[in-house]
């Protein structure tokens, strides 16, 4: 499987709410995670992030993504995915359901080692998304 195919399979598993159980086969066991987003500040591993996404889809129960671009940089061993996530706060969460919807853009930058994702950076304006949802 190519890095691009692995990245697509990981992306679909993660964005579909599969949690680490569905994402792990595409990643190194110790895969790291970073983001310059306050909502994700405590997350250090890709396992934590995959499980966070799974939890988020339990709150934004209609959550879905619109994939805009997928690109591979073979010279640097990285794959990037650019998408828009849309979801409405219909259940649970940090506040009672607001019924408000976010349409938030983001990019995944996935770095590979030996055919598996070893690190992912998420580029995302969490403040905008939290404001749209009525959480901030």
Report the pLDDT averaged over residues 46-58: 98
**Residue 1, pLDDT score:** 86
Residue 8 CB: number of other CB atoms within 10 A?
17
Distances in whole angstroms, Cα of residue 125 to Cα of each of 30, 59, 66: 26, 19, 17
75 pLDDT above the threshold of 90: yes
Q: 101 falls in which pLDDT band (50, 70, 90)?
A: very high
**Residue 46, pLDDT score:** 98
Q: What are the domain boundaries of the chain?
A: 3-133
Report the pLDDT averaged over residues 73-85: 96
Share of the chain above pLDDT 70, in %: 100
Fold of 3-133: Nuclear Transport Factor 2; Chain: A, (3.10.450)
Kindly report the average pLDDT of the chain as a whole number: 97
**Residue 59, pLDDT score:** 96
Residue 49 CB: number of other CB atoms within 10 A?
24
């Amino acid at each position: 499987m190519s890095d691009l195919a692995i990245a697509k399979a990981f992306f679909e598993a993660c964005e579909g709410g599969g949690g680490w159980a569905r994402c792990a086969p595409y990643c190194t066991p110790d895969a790291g995670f970073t983001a310059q987003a306050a909502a994700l500040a405590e997350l250090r591993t890709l396992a934590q992030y995959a499980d966070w996404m799974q939890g988020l889809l339990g709150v934004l129960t209609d959550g879905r993504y619109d994939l805009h671009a997928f690109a591979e940089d073979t010279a640097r061993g990285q794959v990037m995915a650019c998408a828009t996530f849309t979801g409405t706060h219909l259940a649970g969460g940090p506040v009672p359901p607001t019924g408000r919807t976010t349409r938030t853009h983001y990019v995944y930058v996935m770095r590979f080692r030996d055919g598996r994702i070893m690190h992912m950076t998420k580029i995302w304006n969490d403040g905008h998304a939290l404001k749209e949802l009525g959480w901030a």
